[in-house]
Amino acid sequence: MPAEPAPTEAQLGVPVYPGAAFIRSFDAGQGQRYYLYGSTASFAELVLYYRAQLKDKGDLVYDVPPVHMFEVGRFREETMAFPPGVTVKDYTWGGAKGYLVPTPGATPNRFPTIIQIVPVVNR
């Protein structure tokens, strides 16, 4: 199966952390997709980056494992499965080795931090 092309920042409506690797997209339901990116940057670095880029402090929604969310658009329950936004999750909490990269032989083979982007859509 050929690799899925990474969406552009224009398609997403938000910036992608520099150097983050596109992993793949998933069907979120109701015509939405969400996009996963892996990063070797720390959770704290990514949260600071998105705070500066989005000009929003976001919310730490879970302490264990750390998950920080930035909402970037209005959620319309009747037409959306997820609110548009950026979610940053620490995959090294509690000694975990990170998010396993699904491509055999990939370097790095694990990402300490994952970025989930739900694009801004105008519906």
Rounded CA separation 106/72 (Å): 31
Whether residue 80 contacts residue 74, with contact meaning beta carbons closer than 8 Å, is answered with no
Is residue 83 a part of any domain in this protein? yes
pLDDT digits (tens, 9 = 90+) for 88-121: 999 999 999 999 987 788 888 899 999 999 997 6
Task: Identify whether 23 is part of a domain.
Answer: yes
Flag whether 4 is in a domain: no
The token pair that represents 77 in the structure block:
């329950």
What is the number of structural domains in the chain? Answer: 1
> Does residue 59 lie in a domain region?
yes
CA separation for the pair 32, 80 (Å, rounded): 7
Residues of the chain with confidence (pLDDT) below 50: 123
Residue 103 is predicted with a pLDDT of: 78
Is 42 part of any domain? Answer: yes
- Does 103 reside within a domain? yes
Q: What local confidence, expressed as pLDDT, does residue 104 receive?
A: 80
Q: Would you say residue 3 lies in a domain?
A: no
**Domain hosting residue 41, numbered range:** 9-118
CA distance 119 to 84: 5
CA distances to 5, 9, 42, 65, 70 from 98, rounded to whole Å, are 23, 25, 11, 12, 22
